[in-house]
Amino acid sequence: MRLALLGGTGDIGEGLALRWARDTDHEVLVGSRDPERARERVEEYHAALDANGASGTIKGFENTMAADRADVVVLSVPPYHVENTVESVADRIGDAILVSPAVGIKRDDEGFHYHRPPAGSVTALAADAAPGGVPVVGAFHNLPAKRLSELEDDLGFDTLVVGDDRDANREIAALAAEIDGLRTFEAGPLSNAAEVESLTPLLINLARYNGDLDHVGVRFG
């Protein structure tokens, strides 16, 4: 399977690229608006794998090239870039499943708060921008990116999957579960995405106010 991480040079992209490269046999394609930046980061990712006695297939491309013929396209970009990123690769997505892990967050003196976009959620925003017939799944919203990229750390986290296409949801849940230490649960249709996304600022606030909860994640049951 070919997994394209658009904006894969950032924090969540790095963590997913490293974990999928180490824990699976999938081909991981790191995308960026700047292909040279993508290639530089891929070299760093390979060095991180080597340092942990691991290996995997990671390649760097410009975003549209990464999305081309991919089976899964992950929007590893900030929420304010989700819509234009989808539009920039719309003619390259084909039959891929589009995955959105982005969360809208605003900050004030008291902490971090969920910033709900007019579409209802960032996942819904991605779905509105996606070509007709392309399944959009929300996943990986509540994972601490730094812990993902630290391969020596055991995760022990859960991720929630939302979307209107049950088959696509199950495929992404299975793909996520291939990462060691990550469990997945279906959380219903895309209309439930806001509830899932809103957990992320809560987790950041917990880490902020409790030093021993740095890089905290979620574990259910």
pLDDT at residue 130, rounded to an integer: 97
Asked, for residue 45, whether it belongs to a domain, the answer is: yes
Query: Is 150 exposed, middle or buried, given 0-12, 13-18 or 19+ CB atoms closer than 10 A?
Result: middle
Domain with 202, as residue range(s), is: 2-213
Residue 212 has pLDDT above 90, yes or no: no
With cut-offs at 50, 70 and 90, classify the pLDDT of residue 215: confident
CB 80 within 8 A of CB 115: no
Q: Tell me the CATH number at 14.
A: 3.40.50.720
pLDDT at residue 214, rounded to an integer: 67
pLDDT at residue 208, rounded to an integer: 86
Asked, for residue 221, whether it belongs to a domain, the answer is: no
pLDDT digits (tens, 9 = 90+) for 186-202: 999 999 999 999 999 99
